[in-house]
Amino acid sequence: MELERFIADCAAAVGDSAPTKAVREVVARAVENSTTLVKVLGTPERGGVNRIHVSEDLTILNVIWAPGMTIKPHNHNMWAVIGVYGGREDNIFWRRIKDDPAGCIEAAGAKSIGKSEVRPLGDDIIHSVTNPTGKLTGAIHVYGGDFFEVHRSEWEPESLEERPYDIDTNMKLFVDANKMMELS
């Protein structure tokens, strides 16, 4: 696998009439051989969100989840394709409670994504993510837009009330999780 080719294949797939399906196929090929992917991306050593490519219509991230790390419920307001190449991501899916004035959500399902597995997410999905393992989890996240510029929401974990997504606070979760990993 060549990183430049992977980016080009994802960019071409975005122009497909069914971009999520086309990108899913590209990501599935990439994560089917984790050894090769790790050679290209490097061995995960710390949790983090590593930018591979960011443009107006495509973001590709190498997301490394620290052991036990959880990200609160959030949306993307764009489709996504997640491919795990090491470890596991547990996703809880949420739905808005009809006519709730605070924009609260309720659990609607769950999906575990393990090594070499790929999961597409629609543009209206709300999910939270946990690495339930005691080791780092590596995943390729591909989004149909600029992940860092799109307005989106997150939900307060206790009350499940909607609020604007705070990217800085969410990125700090990776820093805090790395500190916890170093202490253990």
User: What is the per-residue pLDDT for 170?
Assistant: 93
User: What is the per-residue pLDDT for 132?
Assistant: 96
DSSP state of 16: S
On the question of pLDDT at 184 being above 90, the answer is no
Contact assessment for residue 126 and residue 73, using Cβ atoms and an 8 Å cutoff: yes
Per-residue pLDDT averaged across 79-89, rounded?
Answer: 97
Token match 């959500």: residue? 105
Contact assessment for residue 68 and residue 135, using Cβ atoms and an 8 Å cutoff: no
How would CATH label the architecture of 3-183? Sandwich (2.60)
Q: Could you report how far apart the first and last alpha carbons of the chain are, in Å?
A: 34
C-alpha distances (whole Å) from 81 to each of 135, 143, 157 are 22, 7, 24
Contact assessment for residue 62 and residue 14, using Cβ atoms and an 8 Å cutoff: no
Least confident stretch, 7-16, 116-125, 152-161, 175-184:
175-184
Token match 């971009």: residue? 19
Domain spans in the chain, listed from the N-terminal domain onward? 3-183
User: What is the per-residue pLDDT for 24?
Assistant: 98
User: What is the per-residue pLDDT for 26?
Assistant: 97
